[in-house]
Chain A
Amino acid sequence: MKFSKKDLIKLYTNLVRARTFDMLCTRLLAEGKFVSFYHEGAWGDAAGVGTATFLRKDDILYPHHRAHGFPHMIGKGVDPKYYLAEHCGRATGCCSGVGTVHALFEEYGILGQSAILGAQFTVSVGWGLAAKKNGTGQVVVASFGDGTLARGTWHEGANVAVLWKLPIVYVLENNGIAQYVSLEKAYPLKDMASLAAGYGMPAVVVDGQDIVAVAEAVGEAVKRARQGKGPTFVECKTIRVTSHGYGSPHMVDGEQRDMNMVEELKKREPLSMYEKNLLKQGIITKEDIEEIAKAAKEEAAAAEKFAMESPIQEDASILDQYLYAE
């Protein structure tokens, strides 16, 4: 799969935006302006942006919980300020300040999330079935981490997804740590692609730090799904250089993480690697880079202003209104 110059710049721009929002979210949480958690995603954000950037607007996307899905949603085209406002409990949030870490952008195919990991495997089955029934070539993309894959819902969902040939792309962002437990303590294998292959589901392993590789693999998987060839599994090997969530212990398997190893991991920072390649290939210039960074900062600042100036959601009458549909 080849990408045009415009596509490659779009990937870069979205990655810069996602990174800028990650920094913003971390700061807002530290300043006490978030009413929710924040699970940082920097250095592991290429997979989300690469996954979502070239999806169709009506494709269904279940964003990853890490970085709360900002990379995925920015890739998908939603305006992140409504999701930021949601994190701050504002009435202007995408869930009117009720969901905080939940996202809903129906016209962009983001139909909601669950904060209980593993829901994407079975809810995707329903989306896939509906997409198949709709018959308009919609594809469902479910993002998740290696921790989530240990849920039994994976088996229940993947099994019928293959059986029913549903147009689903499962994108695993394997960063090797599930909250505080390493992959080694969680699985008797390292490449989860083998699990998918057991169902006869085509599976591929890519470098999740290489945004082009992710976009290419997901692109091929989406193509298969659109052609009615059923689900695909894309395993992106990525990294986690932060603690599980902002403020939580930077520990794994009961011990402090080896910071030398974390520094080693940081060498695989996806944005600068990509930037270097783009410059070498003459696709962007230094001036372009500055401009993109400036625009991202302005976007983030405007989103922060929007969130902070929006009213806090304290209207109790919505509780009744939201509980049941009439």
Chain B
Amino acid sequence: MRLLQYNEAINEALSEELARDEKVFLLGEGVGVSSLATTRGLVQKFGPDRVIDTPIAEAAITGCAIGAATMGYRPIADLMYSDFLYTAADDVLIRAPQWRFLHGGRQSLPIVFIAGSGGYRKVGPEHSHSPHSIMLHHPGLKVVVPSTPYDAKGLLKASIRDDNPVFYMFHKALIGMKEDIPEEEYIIPLGQAKVRREGTDVTVVAASYMNYLAIQAADKLKGEISVEVIDPRTLEPLDLDTILKSVIKTGRVVIVDEDTERCGFAGELMAQIMEHAFDELDAPIKRVCAANYPIPSGFLEKFVLPQPAQILAAIREVVK
């Protein structure tokens, strides 16, 4: 065991997979330096043919990943910020997810799109998105949203070994989080939610940085309300069973989602819970999401992105 930071865990996963499989390669603008240090040092280890610096050309990066994947390679396309996926949306949301499907299911496209997501850094509306609902709207793309260093590593290794396009979104606000990481190799399969805190009064479903905030809320409410915190870890595939099991136990649900409330993942999950476990609910489901505004730069950010106080209030209200 050693204590690794969230981005170090990502770096280690990349490094191990590049070493394990020569078909794996990494490309993106500035991967040789890496603004969030996720890919730092890899070019020195694996050389410029495996860790490829590109121009600022997202479409070239993602298109290249699709092409190489259809020829048996396992590209990791680094988009730096998940907001930038829109510049290559054609590839990320349409081409990659649909390619296998449209061509009669004969191919596999093992691609990882990797990017930092989320706000809480006051860097404004074009560097703070959590665009997972957009991704979920495009069947064929898996969506991975790790909330801890341990998960970040295990899920990334699973993503790289998956034979399908995966959008791996790590959260910028979690970069400094540290956790004990085993020396030996481990993999966390996609599609397995994790119960982070066991509880009996209310289920809080929250992924990525929202999970970190939800755990803090649960700890704060200790003695007052028994909160069960579930981390879906991957949104596609989604481990609905684990969530439903918890809902049956508690009868009350709060969903915390950093994405914009309107047409977001929280609304989708609410619908799914009601479709599958309406009779188990003792109260209407509450959601805490980003308000329906662009994410402001600077100090106004807190009026749009979900805040700890809102999570506490929602939990208290739902158990009333």
List A residues at the B interface (Cβ < 8 Å): 60, 93-99, 102, 104, 106, 111-112, 114, 116, 118-119, 121-131, 133-134, 152-153, 156-157, 159-160, 163, 318, 321-326
Contacts and interface: CB of A to CB of B under 8 A. Distances in A.
A37 to B, nearest CB: 15
A119 B60 CA distance: 10
B140 A122 contact: no
A111 B67 CA distance: 9
B103 interface: yes
Interface stretch (B5-13, B89-97, B307-315): B89-97
A285 B82 CA distance: 63
Interface stretch (B68-76, B169-177, B192-200, B266-274): B68-76
Given A112-B107, A130-B72, A159-B60, A323 B101 contact: yes
A126 B63 contact: yes
Residue of A94, A321, A325 with most partner-chain B CB within 10 A: A325
Interface of B: 49, 54-55, 57-60, 62-73, 75, 90-91, 94-95, 99-109, 139-140, 142, 163-164
Contact of B67 (A94, A97, A125, A156): A125
Contacts of A112: 70, 99, 102-103, 107
A128 B66 CA distance: 12
18 contacts: A93-B104, A96-B104, A99-B102, A106-B107, A112-B102, A122-B59, A122-B62, A123-B67, A125-B67, A126-B68, A126-B71, A128-B67, A130-B73, A156-B57, A160-B54, A160-B55, A324-B140, A325-B105
Contact of B63 (A93, A99, A157, A321): A157
Nearest to B90: A116
A152 to B, nearest CB: 7
Contact of B163 (A119, A130, A153, A326): A326
Contacts of B163: 324-326
Contacts of B55: 156, 159-160, 163
A323 B95 contact: no
Residue of A97, A159, A160, A163 with most partner-chain B CB within 10 A: A160
Contacts of B69: 126
Given A159-B57, A160-B55, A98 B101 contact: yes
B103 A95 contact: yes
A303 B290 CA distance: 56
Given A119-B63, A125-B67, A322 B100 contact: yes
B78 to A, nearest CB: 15
Contact of B68 (A93, A116, A130): A130
A125 B101 contact: no
A21 B257 CA distance: 54
A66 B120 CA distance: 49
A85 B71 CA distance: 25
Contacts of A322: 100-101, 104-105
A123 B63 contact: yes
Contacts of A124: 63, 67
Residue of A114, A121, A163 with most partner-chain B CB within 10 A: A114
A94 B139 CA distance: 22
Nearest to B27: A129
A163 B95 CA distance: 25
B56 to A, nearest CB: 9
A306 B257 CA distance: 52
Residue of A102, A112, A323 with most partner-chain B CB within 10 A: A112
Contacts of B57: 156, 159-160
Given A98-B101, A98-B102, A111-B107, A160 B73 contact: no
Given A116-B95, A119-B90, A324-B140, A157 B60 contact: yes
Contacts of A163: 55
A220 to B, nearest CB: 24
Residue of B49, B67, B163 with most partner-chain A CB within 10 A: B67
